[in-house]
Amino acid sequence: MALLSRRTDLPFERDDSSRYLPWLTAFMVFLASLTLAGVFALSDLASTWDKGLSETLTVQLPAGEDERTDERRAAAAIKILEAAEGVEEVTLLPPRQVRDLLKPWLGAAADASRLPLPQIIDVEIDRDGIPALATLTEQLRRAVPGAAVDDHGAWMSGFLRALRSAEAIGVLIFLLVGVATAGTIVFTTRAGLGVHREVIEVMHLTGAHDRYIAAQFAVRSMMLGLRGAAMGISSAAMVLIALGVLVEFQGFGVLPGVDLSLGAWIAVVLLLPATGLLAWLTARITVLRSLARMV
Amino acid sequence: MDEIVRFQTVGLRYGMGPEVLQDLSFTLTPGSFHFLTGESGAGKSSLMRLMYLAKKPTRGSVSLFGRDIASLRHDDYPTLRRRIGVVFQEFRLLSHQTAFDNVALPLRVSGMREKEIKKHVEELLTWVGLEENMAAWPETLSGGQQQRVAIARAVIAQPRLLLADEPTGNVDDRIAARLLHLFEELNRLGTTVVIATHNKSLISSSLHPIMHLDGGRLSIEDRESEPAATVETLPRLGRL
């Protein structure tokens, strides 16, 4: 495969211009790997929350004057919900659980038995057959005045929008890192063309096509890029694993851990051939464009 | 095609400077042999550069092998250059490559297989008496040996036009005479040869026509009719 041949007519080993290319590439790929992992983590988080919450409804019934009223209202609401199309499971949360949910806001006062608490019904719905919410709410309100149905849509949409924005910023940073890497390769390749100008002229005069010369620069650039990418990906993998362990032990409350999906790890590993290809292609195009201006 | 090189009212200037070559018109036919003479600065190297496609004329027309170079696309140059062998005054050997690899370069760039390259290069280096120096780096070779490597590189691809710019500038008269013999051998095989030189004894040792440059203008002195080009087996040359 001539395009990937490592035999070269150019004295690259005497070329200082590309000495730091692997290190620069390693740094760029390190950043790209972390950014990519972040994008995947955000995407997974958004999908999990989106899926989890879009399959549930919460029905809130106002507290009655006494327990019997509460029971009657709950039974009426459950009956309506179970009869509704698209509803899979209806669960009335026990008062103890409702108090636990309120504890972060009310503190010890939530335990006070005299505190009137609303009744909460957790409803699991079929994603493919979501019930007509407006109709269901109307039915519930007729049976239980003051009943409220929360499909989490309002706050979920804001939360998901924030996650998607963060994802988009991550993708933008990833692309910028790619452009910066390509820019570094262009600069290094041009410096190399200057260093090897004499040899290139002799090659031209002996009948070398620009493609022949460009292939040698491209292979050299690809090898350096692969070396740098391997260093960058290894470093990023160590950081991600360390971060995962740290989160596992420390815990960050509502935020999930940083266990990356298999897809995320595959994407990070794919940065290796992607960097090699970017280096090969960038160097090749740079050389061909520069040599096209020579006689 | 009966013209290797054709110049018609060619002029050349560098940047905004004066014309270093003015109104050059001449034709080189297949199998011809010319010396190119002139004082330093007369334009010999510039004329050679035009002929080996390192420069384009500022005006006039240059044709090589029947093709006007003004009409060439960038991709056409390598094809034409492979028909031209150039021996530079300063050799321009690649210092990071062995004598073998230097000579192999024109074959490699043309895509020949390594097995074939090895056969041809070994044969030619043996022919020029460098069979013991194939793996030597240029800097370890004498001036005469480097000269022969440069000549071998120029002729390995069997060019139809051989251009040698001051090929005897760094060697004594004895070696210069042997180099001339080598060029004449190649000429007998059908290669058109142009040798740019200051060496008067080299010129006087043969009757080849002289292209003389003076102040950028060319005159041709036809000393005697050219010997007919004949094809014969390359003889082994003595050591230079």
| pLDDT at residue B234 tops 50 | no
In chain A, what is the greatest distance between 2 CA atoms, to the nearest angstrom? Answer: 101
B109 closest CB neighbour out of A199, A201, A203: A203
- B78 with A14: Cβ contact below 8 A: no
Asked whether the beta carbons of residue A207 and residue B82 sit closer than 8 angstroms, the reply is: yes
- Cβ atoms of B85 and B49 within 8 Å: the answer is no
* CB-CB contact of B163 with B85 (8 Å): yes
The reported pLDDT for the residue numbered A57 is: 83
Rounded CA-CA distance A110/B207 in Å is 119
Q: How many CA atoms lie within 13 A of B56 on its CB side?
A: 12
Q: How far is B164 from chain A (nearest CA, A)?
A: 13
Tally A–B CB contacts below 8 A.
57
B20 near B14, Cβ under 8 Å? yes
Q: Tell me how many degrees the CA angle B131-B134-B138 measures, rounded to the nearest 5.
A: 125
Does residue B156 sit at the A interface (CB-CB below 8 Å)? no
For an interface test with B, which of A206, A209, A293 has the most B Cβ atoms less than 10 Å from its Cβ? Answer: A206
Q: Are the Cβ atoms of B96 and A212 closer than 8 angstroms? A: no
Mutation choice for A interface testing from B50, B96, B151 by most A CBs within 10 A: B96
The alpha carbon of residue B144 is apart from the nearest alpha carbon of chain A, in Å, by: 20
State which residue of chain B sits closest to A202, comparing Cα positions. Answer: B92
Contacts of A204 in chain B (CB under 8 A): 77-78, 81
Surface of A (156-185) touching B: CB under 8 A: none
Mean pLDDT of chain B: 87
Q: What is the pLDDT of residue A1?
A: 45
Nearest chain B residue (CA) to A292: B74
CA distance A292 to B43: 27
Q: Taking Cα atoms as reference points, which of A63, A67, A227, A221 lies closest to residue A148?
A: A63
Which of B72, B109, B117, B139 best tests the A interface by mutation, with the highest count of A CBs <10 A?
A: B109
Evaluate whether A77 touches A137 at the Cβ level (below 8 Å): no
Determine contact: A113 vs chain B, CB below 8 A: no
* Cβ–Cβ gap B81/A292 under 8 Å: no
* Chain A contact set for B94 (CB, 8 A): 9, 11, 199, 202
Q: The tokens of A37 are what?
A: 């992992």
Chain A CB contacts of B92 under 8 Å are 198, 202
Average pLDDT of B21-38? 93
Closest CA to B218 of B34, B23, B60: B23
Q: Are B222 and B209 in contact (CB under 8 A)?
A: yes
Residues of B in contact with A212 (CB under 8 A): 109
DSSP collapsed to 3 states, B57-113: CCEEEEEECCEEHHHCCHHHHHHHHCCEEEECCCCCCCCCCCHHHHHHHHHHHCCCC
Which position has the token pair 């009943």?
A: A147
Any B CB within 8 A of A292 CB: yes
Residue A205 and residue B97: Cβ atoms within 8 Å? no
- Chain A contact for B205 (CB, 8 A cutoff): no
B113 in contact with A at a CB cutoff of 8 Å? no
Touching check for B158 and chain A: CB below 8 Å? no
pLDDT of residue B217: 92
pLDDT score of A2? 47
Interstrand relation of B33-38 and B192-196 (parallel, antiparallel or unpaired): parallel
CB contact under 8 A, A205 and B52: yes
Query: With contact defined as beta carbons under 8 Å apart, do B37 and B210 qualify?
Result: yes
Task: Report domain extents, chain B.
Answer: 93-158
User: Dihedral, CA atoms, B114, B118, B121, B124, nearest 10 degrees?
Assistant: -140
Who wins on pLDDT, B145 or A253?
B145
Residue of B81, B86, B109 lying closest to A212 (CB–CB): B109
Q: Considering only alpha carbons, which residue of chain B is nearest residue A289? A: B74
Set of chain B residues whose Cβ sits within 8 Å of the Cβ of A14 = 96
The whole-angstrom separation of Cα A292 and Cα B87 is 25
Most confidently predicted of A50-64, B129-143, B160-174:
B129-143
Backbone torsions φ then ψ of A116, nearest 5 degrees: -70, 120
pTM of the model: 0.77
**Nearest residue in A to B50, CA atom:** A295
A254 touches chain B (CB under 8 A): no
What is the β-pairing status of strands B210-214 and B33-38? parallel
pLDDT in tens, B213-227: 998 899 998 876 554
User: CB of A219 within 8 A of CB of A5?
Assistant: yes
User: What per-residue confidence (pLDDT) applies to A99?
Assistant: 79
The tens place of each residue's pLDDT in chain A, 295 residues long, gives: 444 555 788 988 877 878 899 999 999 999 999 999 999 988 888 887 776 666 788 899 988 888 888 888 899 999 988 888 888 888 999 888 887 877 777 777 766 666 778 899 988 887 666 667 778 888 889 988 888 888 776 677 788 888 889 999 999 999 999 999 999 999 999 999 999 999 999 999 999 999 999 999 999 999 999 999 999 999 999 999 998 888 777 765 555 556 788 999 999 999 999 999 999 999 999 999 999 987 6
